[in-house]
Chains A and B, each alone.
Chain A
């Protein structure tokens, strides 16, 4: 006889299936009680199932609702993002400075309106192109390497620091730019934003200003040399007198057959001729019309040169000149002729002020150099005299154009001197608190702290 498989408690569905797989004879052997209990179990299961479906449906519709909400939210975010993007674009485009973003490969991802104006390319032309297109050689060829090196080593000369560079316009012309670059990351991609400012206007303005100063300082040097002419004539007269006397003596020595003393006398005459030539060289260098050339300059040497030009003037006016020059001093960034002009102006003023004092008055002018109160970036020059000094109200006026206390002179010396020093990045002022005489100071940046040197 076939063994009846027992119907076990458990999964109702399995049990029902097991039941159906049994032969009809086996089925017929099922008791009514068994059927009834099975049906009631089935009914109970159905109920449970329905309940479960209902719960699931609830769950689903809640999830659906949430999903819809999420979709709405996303739409709103998307819209907000879009409007923000538009706003950002508008802001970026309305910026005065050129804003350019690039990815790691150097490809342009943003090119704002100001950039279009600076470089002559439009946005469509630049998007996706390599940013090196905007650079002249050699940067143009090296820019990819710059980026690669930065990505590898983190070393860069532009990121985080602003600097002056040259850009290349679409028409090939060059444009001076102030460039600053910052870095940002999207996901795992690093991107760079470059902000460029067109310096053409500023450069042109600076150049004009410089040209005006050159012109003005030249005229002023001519005037100054004119005022010093009598002293310089005297200065030249000394070697000329010596030369004439040496040569006259030489003729007599030849006539007398005394050739032994001839050679040293001729040698002395030659030295004096060279000295006279040196005086003329100095004068010519000083009055020459020239471009301003800012270069590393030894301020002590410039002072010596200025002193050589005005020594005769000092002697004529019984002024003793003392130098207290700090050695060694770092070079300053300066145009040596213009600084000499400032020095001579101040020295002349001082001599003239002291010339008006009683004959037995003490007339001394001290010129001193040194570093600026412990500053490592500026050199200070001081000129202090024992003259009558400046009255309180004069201090406010002396740097104004056409203010003069002299019978001759245009009152331009000090204003021009101040302009010259300021064009060098220094300062010129008068010390109002000295017990006697007048004290002028000026400063100049030392070479290491200066970016103007050519």
Chain B
């Protein structure tokens, strides 16, 4: 079942810039486009206040003290927080933008920027966040099902999605053909899989090797 509307709340654009005027102006611009915005004057302040369950994206200034935008990106990664980041920078610094993209930034735009560019990037980022959140929700759901399997069933499932025939599985596990059949039926049922293809897709989505 495809999970929709994992997050009922409206997404927020989090603006982190140490320059008040830039923060204020960006906030106004984003709100004027009908989105909600929230400003933070430092990377630390954002890190302290942010609740990962809140959907949205991050508009992040590269140059800040003492914690830079890149430092914040790294800190979020360490905490396994995957909020999409649009970096804003005063100068096209190739080395920095390369590092930002390697860290998974969705975008890197230079100041000053026109509102169309900014807002379409923001919308893309929010879209990406929604997708990510949906994916994570789906994965969570699949894993919830997976955790209901017995250890033997998990073994059988791994072999099934490895495209082994029942006969091969029976031989590998040293059990009877009929027992494999029974395990397989329970796996399909517990995993809510309609077909072998569906089971494989779910295993891939949930990264069950």
Contact = CB atoms under 8 A, between A and B. Distances in A.
B202 to A, nearest CB: 44
Given A256-B32, A258-B32, 12 more contacts: A234-B91, A238-B22, A246-B25, A246-B29, A248-B114, A248-B115, A249-B115, A252-B29, A253-B32, A261-B28, A265-B28, A316-B63
Given A248-B115, A261-B28, A320-B65, A272 B21 contact: yes
B28 A238 contact: no
Contact of A268 (B21, B68, B91): B21
A349 interface: no
B66 interface: yes
Among B65, B68, B114, chain A packs the most CB atoms within 10 A around the CB of B65
Contacts, number: 85
B111 A249 contact: no
Interface of A: 230, 233-234, 237-246, 248-249, 252-253, 256, 258, 261, 265, 268-269, 271-272, 275, 315-316, 318, 320
Interface of B: 19, 21-22, 24-26, 28-29, 31-33, 63-66, 68, 90-91, 111-115, 118
Given A244-B114, A252-B33, A238 B24 contact: no
B28 A241 contact: no
A245 B90 contact: no
Contacts of B32: 248-249, 252-253, 256, 258, 261
Contacts of B28: 245-246, 249, 261, 265
Contacts of B64: 315
20 contacts: A230-B91, A237-B91, A237-B111, A240-B112, A242-B21, A244-B112, A244-B113, A244-B114, A245-B22, A245-B25, A245-B29, A248-B29, A248-B115, A249-B25, A256-B32, A269-B25, A271-B21, A318-B66, A318-B68, A320-B66
A214 to B, nearest CB: 33
B65 A315 contact: yes
Contacts of B68: 318
Contacts of B19: 238, 242
Contacts of B91: 230, 233-234, 237
Which applies to chain A's interface (DSSP): helix, strand, loop or mixed? helix
Contact of A245 (B26, B63, B65, B66): B26
A17 to B, nearest CB: 135
A318 B21 contact: no
A238 B25 contact: no
A241 B111 contact: yes
Nearest to A245: B25
A243 to B, nearest CB: 8
A252 B33 CA distance: 7
Contacts of A241: 22, 25, 90, 111-113
Contact of A234 (B24, B33, B65, B90): B90
Q: Which 6 A-B residue pairs are closest in the complex by CB-CB distance?
A: A245-B25, A248-B115, A252-B32, A242-B21, A241-B111, A241-B112
Contacts of A242: 19, 21-22, 24-25
Contacts of A256: 32
A242 B27 CA distance: 10
A379 B112 CA distance: 43
A357 B24 CA distance: 34
A314 to B, nearest CB: 8
Contacts of B114: 244, 248
A354 to B, nearest CB: 13
A275 B29 CA distance: 20
Given A246-B28, A249-B25, A249-B32, A238 B111 contact: yes
B147 to A, nearest CB: 42
A264 B148 CA distance: 58
B26 to A, nearest CB: 5
Among A240, A246, A275, chain B packs the most CB atoms within 10 A around the CB of A246
Nearest to A234: B90
Contacts of A268: 21, 24-25
B185 to A, nearest CB: 58
Contacts of A272: 21, 25
A357 to B, nearest CB: 14
Among B28, B114, B118, chain A packs the most CB atoms within 10 A around the CB of B28
Nearest to B29: A249
A271 B66 CA distance: 27
Contacts of A243: 25, 112
A253 B112 CA distance: 20
Contacts of A315: 63-65
B21 A238 contact: yes
